[in-house]
């Protein structure tokens, strides 16, 4: 039988949990944020059914490069702290840092924001972070989708997905095929955990959930040198597109690039090395104190740290040995703090994937 309207009030979409007016208000708020990221190739503006972007005319035989990702359970820290203006920065970073490993220039980015009940102020903060990261990466925030899905998400929570598209000339694609024994890995530091391994980090620092045991997010343990636990965990993912463009513009012979994400160096660098080659880590580097705090608080051994987190290495370039000094010079001139990570070595062809990275004793 048809449901009788409560107290004679007709059922509406808003009463069912979806506020169209709030969605419209969000669109109006983010229009100037998206406009600030506009690049020459963008056609039209925000508000239509699709975003339009032309392929740059100066790219010979262009190939489009795409990537998609999310932020994972780092979102739980944003929910608990009420800090939402950097999580969008992470979303962009996880996508654009992937596509530039092929030598691509990021062109545009789109986001998906899903929530149970739309809080316009929170969503605006998230998109503000997305727009800031797009601008820093040189790509346009071309569009996105906001979905209000009552009953799917817990109160006060949301989920994010991002989609990036870039372009590279076919003859300039970097795919790792030319990597050879003796090549050198030049690394760029991470800012911290970036957006990977948060299930382990949260369990180590905060207990099995944000509601049970462990440290308080507002605590400032001496190991963090003035930062609170929440601030350290929310440190935004570093963006590497400008560094990549600097290397390619300087004509450094970049043979492979790796974005170090979930799985750490062992789970990512071998993806761009030919069969039978691995990396011997030869040098030490400084890493953000959050790593050692996670290790100590959770009793996590170093091998598990290395296969879960980036342990301070966010991005890696593989270049010929003779080009390593030039690579370091170019990256320093671009405002980076590069360091030599190690050297490409021959490994047995039957060696397991993650064991193709050799660590010093």
| C-alpha neighbours within 13 Å on the C-beta side of residue 197 | 28
- The whole-number average pLDDT for the span 292-319 is 97
Nearest to 205 by CA among 234, 182, 183, 226: 234
Question: Domain extents for the chain?
Answer: 19-42+58-172, 184-358
Domain 19-42+58-172 class?
alpha beta
pLDDT band at residue 5, thresholds of 50, 70 and 90?
low
pLDDT of 110 over the 50 cut: yes
Nearest to 310 by CA among 252, 254, 235: 235
Report the share of the chain in percent with pLDDT over 90: 84
Identify whether the C-beta of residue 130 lies closer than 8 Å to the C-beta of residue 184: no
Residue that the structure tokens 């990537």 belong to: 67
pLDDT digits (tens, 9 = 90+) for 191-217: 999 999 999 999 999 875 544 457 899
Identify whether the C-beta of residue 236 lies closer than 8 Å to the C-beta of residue 191: yes
Torsion of Cα atoms, 40 then 44 then 47 then 53, to 10°:
-60
Query: Are 19-42+58-172 and 184-358 the same fold in CATH?
Result: no
Residues 127, 142: Cα–Cα separation, whole Å: 12
Residues 224, 292: Cα–Cα separation, whole Å: 9
- The whole-number average pLDDT for the span 81-90 is 97
pLDDT for the residue 341:
98
Spell out the residues 6+ positions from residue 40 whose beta carbon is closer than 8 angstroms to its own.
Answer: none
DSSP assigned state of 347: -
What's the fold here for domain 184-358?
Phosphoribosyl-aminoimidazole Synthetase; Chain A, domain 2 (3.90.650)
Spell out a b/e string for 33-70, using b for 16 or more CB atoms within 10 Å of the CB, else e.
Answer: bbeebebebbeeebeeeebebeeeeeeeeebebebebb
pTM to 2 decimal places? 0.93
- The whole-number average pLDDT for the span 25-43 is 91
Residues 176, 117: Cα–Cα separation, whole Å: 45
Residues 257, 185: Cα–Cα separation, whole Å: 9
DSSP lists the bridge partners of residue 108 as: 140, 165
pLDDT for the residue 147:
95
Task: Give the pair of three-digit tokens for residue 144.
Answer: 């996105």
- The whole-number average pLDDT for the span 67-82 is 97
Identify whether the C-beta of residue 297 lies closer than 8 Å to the C-beta of residue 338: no
- Residue 195 sits at the vertex; the CA angle it makes with 162 and 81, to the nearest 5 degrees, is 100
């Amino acid at each position: 039988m048809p449901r009788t309207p409560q107290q004679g009030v007709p059922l509406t979409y808003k009463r069912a949990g979806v506020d169209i007016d709030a969605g419209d208000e969000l669109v109006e708020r983010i229009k100037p944020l998206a406009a600030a990221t506009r690049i020459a190739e963008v056609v039209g503006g925000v508000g239509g059914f699709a975003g339009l972007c032309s392929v740059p005319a100066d790219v010979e035989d262009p190939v489009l490069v795409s990537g998609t990702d999310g932020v994972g359970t780092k979102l739980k820290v944003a929910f608990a702290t009420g800090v939402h203006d950097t999580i969008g920065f992470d979303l962009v970073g996880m996508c654009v840092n992937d596509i530039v490993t092929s030598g691509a220039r990021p062109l545009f980015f789109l986001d998906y924001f899903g929530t149970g009940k739309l809080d316009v102020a929170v969503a605006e903060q998230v998109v503000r972070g997305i727009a800031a990261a797009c601008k820093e990466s040189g790509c346009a925030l071309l569009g996105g989708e906001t979905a209000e899905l009552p009953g799917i998400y817990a109160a006060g929570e949301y989920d994010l997905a991002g989609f990036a598209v870039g372009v590279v000339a076919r003859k300039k694609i970097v795919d790792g095929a030319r990597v050879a024994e003796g090549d050198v890995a030049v690394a760029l530091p991470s800012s911290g955990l970036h957006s990977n391994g948060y299930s382990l980090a949260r369990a180590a620092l905060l207990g099995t959930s944000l509601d049970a045991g462990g440290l308080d997010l507002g605590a400032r343990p001496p190991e963090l040198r003035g930062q609170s636990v929440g601030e350290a965990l929310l440190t935004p993912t570093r963006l590497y597109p400008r560094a990549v463009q600097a290397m390619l513009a300087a004509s450094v012979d970049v043979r492979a690039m790796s974005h170090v994400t979930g799985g750490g160096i062992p789970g990512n660098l071998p993806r761009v090395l030919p069969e039978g080659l691995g990396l011997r880590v030869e040098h030490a580097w400084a890493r953000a104190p959050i790593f050692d705090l996670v290790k100590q608080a959770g009793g996590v051994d170093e091998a598990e740290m290395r296969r879960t987190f980036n342990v301070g290495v966010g991005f890696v370039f593989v270049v010929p040995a003779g080009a390593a000094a030039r690579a370091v010079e170019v990256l320093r001139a671009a405002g980076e703090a590069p360091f030599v990570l190690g050297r490409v070595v021959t490994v047995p062809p039957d060696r397991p994937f993650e064991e193709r990275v050799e660590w010093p004793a």
